[in-house]
Amino acid sequence: MMKRPLLCALMLALTVLPAGAANLVKTYSYFGIGGSTLDAIETQLSTQGPEVKSTGMRHPGATQMAFTTRISYAQTADSCRIAKAAVTVKVKVILPQWRRPRKADADVRLFWDTLSADIKRHEERHVEIAKNHGRQLEDALNASYPQKTCAEAKAKAAEITAAELARHDQDQLRFDRVEGVNFESRILRLLRYRIQRVENGQLPPG
């Protein structure tokens, strides 16, 4: 799941990467869970996972994000335009970390490896969606037409930003809906694939 406001939290890793024309600042944090059975792990994820305000529920992972724009303007006698716009997308990916008990069965460990990899993939896709919209926002701002005054240019920049962020939110929600519908079939497919790799000696047992 995603959430736009960037909340203060422990940042365990920091990566600054180019995101097309925009910049991406990505951090990771982790929350611990226990449990030696699938039911126990599920309970831990639903009680210890990050709470997402948009759903009012806790989730097994989350991505918090914020878009920051820096805009300079160039004014002439009869017009004002955006001279340069730079967009930075700040994201924090929150992932579970299982404190694996020694008594956990091999099939539980195998399922956890499959599930945790899918949770990370899901959250990284949220990052990718945000990064793409950050680039589109920056491009749209830099391509905007001059206005009569800088006040009008600033108003136009705000209009462009609001429209792009609305499209961003729609894409994030659409992604979550699709992922939710396909969750069970996807996990079963991934689990079969991982079991096959273990049997072929390509992966160590759980």
According to DSSP, the residues that pair with 98 across neighbouring strands are: 33
CB–CB of 138/71 below 8 Å? no
117-148: per-residue pLDDT in tens? Answer: 989 999 999 999 999 999 999 999 999 999 99
Q: Residue 165 class from Cβ within 10 Å (0-12 exposed, 13-18 middle, 19+ buried)?
A: middle
Asked if residue 118 belongs to a domain, the reply is yes
205 found inside a domain: no
Looking at residue 130, what is its pLDDT? 97
Cα distance between residue 144 and residue 166, in whole Å: 18
The answer to whether residue 165 is domain-embedded is yes
Sheet of 22-33, strand order: 2-3, 62-75, 80-98, 22-33, 13-19
Q: Is residue 206 part of a domain?
A: no
Q: What is the pLDDT of residues 162-171, one digit of tens each?
A: 999 999 999 9
Is 75 within the bounds of a domain?
yes
Indicate the number of domains in the chain.
Answer: 1
* pLDDT 10s digits, 1-55: 433 332 222 222 233 334 345 799 999 999 999 888 888 888 898 888 888 776 7
**How many Å is the Cα radius of gyration of the chain?**
21
Task: Report if residue 59 sits inside a domain.
Answer: yes
Confirm whether 14 is domain-assigned. yes
Give residue 123's domain range.
2-199
Whether pTM exceeds 0.85: no
Q: Which phi and psi (to 5°) does residue 69 adopt? A: -115, 140
- Domain assignment of residue 77, yes or no: yes
Say whether 205 sits in a helix, a strand or coil.
Answer: coil
Among the listed residues 65, 56, 68, 49, the one whose alpha carbon sits nearest the alpha carbon of residue 171: 65
Share of the chain above pLDDT 70, in %: 81
Please give the average per-residue pLDDT across 87-114, as a whole number. 88
